[in-house]
Amino acid sequence: MPIVTMQPGVIPEGLTAYQTYQVYNCLDSAITAQLLPIMLSMANENHLRTYARERRVASLCLEMSRKGFPTNEMAVLELVSQLDREASKAKDALHLFCVAVWHPLLNPNSWQQVEAFFYDYLLLPPVWQYDHKTKQRKRGTNRDALEKLRDAYPSARPFVNAILSYREAVKLAGVFKKGLEPRSKRLRCQFSPTGTDTGRLSSQTNPFGRGTNAQNLNDRVRRVVEAPPGFLIAYPDLKTAESYAVGYLSRSPRYIAACSSDLHTTVARLVWSGLKDVNAYFYRDMTYRDMAKRGGHGTNYYGTAKTMAMFLKVETALIAAFQESYFGAFPEIAEWQLEVIAQIQSTGRLVTPLGRERQFWGRPDDSVTHRAAIAHGPQSLVADIMNEGLCQVQEYLMKECDYARIMAHNDAGLIAQVHDAGAFLIPLGGAEEILAAILEHIVFPVDFGSQGVMAIPAEMSIGLNWGKEKNNNPAGLRAWKPGDGILLGA
């Protein structure tokens, strides 16, 4: 019975299980083909522009997902054994605490035991989480729930810390134990252009169950990502990219000018006029410069004094005073935020200067929607600038560059995108020329009409591994600029 004729709107019956599976597969591809012209007919010029960009980025994502990160086998073994030790230490500590207060030993992998311990034995008020399998709410035992318990109840703190340390170490060790490609020993993670609402790339475990979120690797893990012999890791990033975007979107000449210098120092001097030493302490161990950096970022994205005070562990009145001075120094930012909110309340639709449209479906009067909308402009703009820049660089590396063939044969070139930075593997021979070209090609100027052109400058660091250069990691990433020469691992 090889041919199935489907009457309109009727799912065929009387097929074997495998035949049903095949019809299902056919319907998937037929409906995909059917959808395309209908969806294209709904797209305006902005949608088509974004679609064209995302298709280009999708091919970059495929390349990155296929290549993966080259690793040093010895360093991986060392890291895994270190993580195993940490997991074991955390578990021992947990058992020690448990023996003191609760007779049985708590298994940190068992959500039932963790739930019983915190909610039935310690009698803490439940933090609820939604269980997608049973479609019911249950008492939370995931990271978010445990962190809430830790912050709210000191009695839970040592237990939560031990459980989270254990889980993190086990998870990370697991990534390397079963996550490396058997042949190439590369760590392959999947990148996707459709994982976020802003257009930022997302990263996760690949379809074969290997890898992890490549954008969330800490320095210790990055150190095991090591360039193969004859190559180095180049890591260009866009300098204070989102701040530039905030400056241009809010039409604030003072803020744009501040971005061109040391942003946080300049902001601190503008907010606290007459301030002599920006590194003097503002509150406990937080300097004026730190406050300008962290407070400024939150304030740009419509953070309230109360919420920011909670995160920064500072008194609310201090944040309120800071925000008043901040908006006094940059009144255009406050005006821009109100414009965005008005836009959300009238049409719910925002369009970035690069034509990315987003309809906000959240409640138009909800501050959560407002914050998402205000953050959308800078984040989306930087994501698109970064992606366009990476496409330009990759085009150069794989086609125009003299070493294109060598890089293609060694799965080199772009290997990762991390928000406003990219990681490249480039050949040591010709590195100076290639690095200068990357710095040139990664800049993607955006025309802001009467305000001029926004060209976010890039900074470069290079190394033999992806960790930061430190005394115990001399081959890590260090700042590089044209004319510096290539001297690594010294």
Partner 1 sequence: MTQLATLAKPFSLFEWGKPNTKLLLIGEAPGEEEERVGKPFVGASGQLLNTLLEQSGFSRSDFNITNVFTERPPGNDFKLNWTTTKTELKKAGYSMAARLPPINKRYLIPEMEHHVARLHSEIDDLKPAFILLLGSTALWAVTGESRIGQNRGTILSLPNGRTGLATFHPAMVLRQWDQRPLVWADLSKAAKYLNGTLPKPLERLFYIDPTFEEIEHVYEVFAANPQWEIGVDIETDPRIGQITTISFCTPRFGICIPFYNKSTLPHLCNYWHTAAEEARAWRWVMAFGALANRKVGQNFLYDHQYLLEDLDIRIRNLQDDTSILQHSLQPELPKALGTLASLYLNEPSWKFMRESSKDDNKADE
Binding site for partner 1 (CB under 8 A): 1-11, 16-40, 42-43, 47-48, 50-51, 54-55, 58, 61-62, 65-66, 134-135, 190, 192-194, 196-199, 206-209, 358-363, 366
CB of 109 to partner 1, least distance (A): 22
Beta strands in 88-218 (DSSP E): 128-131, 136-139, 186-187, 190-192, 202-204
Beta carbon nearer to partner 1, 51 or 311: 51
Q: What is the DSSP string of 82-107?
A: HHHHHHHHHHHHHHHHHHHH-SSPP-
| Rounded (10°) CA dihedral 196, 420, 269, 290 | 80
How many CB atoms sit inside 10 A of residue 25's CB? 10
Query: Which one, 7 or 112, has the nearer CB to partner 1?
Result: 7
Smallest Cα–Cα separation from 106: which of 118, 120, 94? 94
- Whose Cβ is closer to partner 1: residue 293's or residue 356's? 356
Instruction: Please give the Cα distance from 389 to 380 (Å, whole number).
Output: 14
Name 126's bridge partners: none
Provide DSSP, 328-385.
HH-HHHHHHHHHHHHHHHHT-EEE-TT--EEE--S-TT-HHHHHHHHHHHHHHHHHHH
Q: Is 450 helix (H, G, I), strand (E, B) or coil?
A: helix
Rg (C-alpha) for the chain, rounded Å, is 26
Least distance in Å: CB of 9 to partner 1? 4
Surface-to-core class of residue 340, CB atoms within 10 Å of its CB (0-12 exposed, 13-18 middle, 19+ buried): buried
CB of 2 to partner 1, least distance (A): 5
Nearer to partner 1, 18 or 100 (CB): 18
Closer CB to partner 1, 114 or 245, in the complex? 245
Output the smallest distance, CB 193 to partner 1, in A: 6
The token pair at 311 is 């995160």
Give the nearer residue to partner 1 in terms of CB position, either 1 or 490. 1
In whole angstroms, how close is the CB of 396 to partner 1 at the nearest point? 24
Which of 43/101 has CB closer to partner 1? 43
Q: Give the angle 81-87-92 at the CA atoms, nearest 5°.
A: 125
Q: How far is CA 40 from CA 47, 54, 350, in A?
A: 9, 15, 20
How far apart are the two ends of the chain, measured CA to CA in Å?
71
**Minimum CB–partner distance for residue 170 and partner 1 (Å):** 22
Phi, psi of 296 (to 5 degrees): -65, -45
Complex with partner 1: residue 199 or 295, whichever CB lies closer: 199
Minimum CB distance to partner 1, residue 83 (Å)? 25
Q: How far is the CB of 249 from partner 1 (least distance, A)?
A: 18
C-beta of 33 vs 490, nearer to partner 1: 33
Least distance to partner 1, CB of residue 308, Å: 25
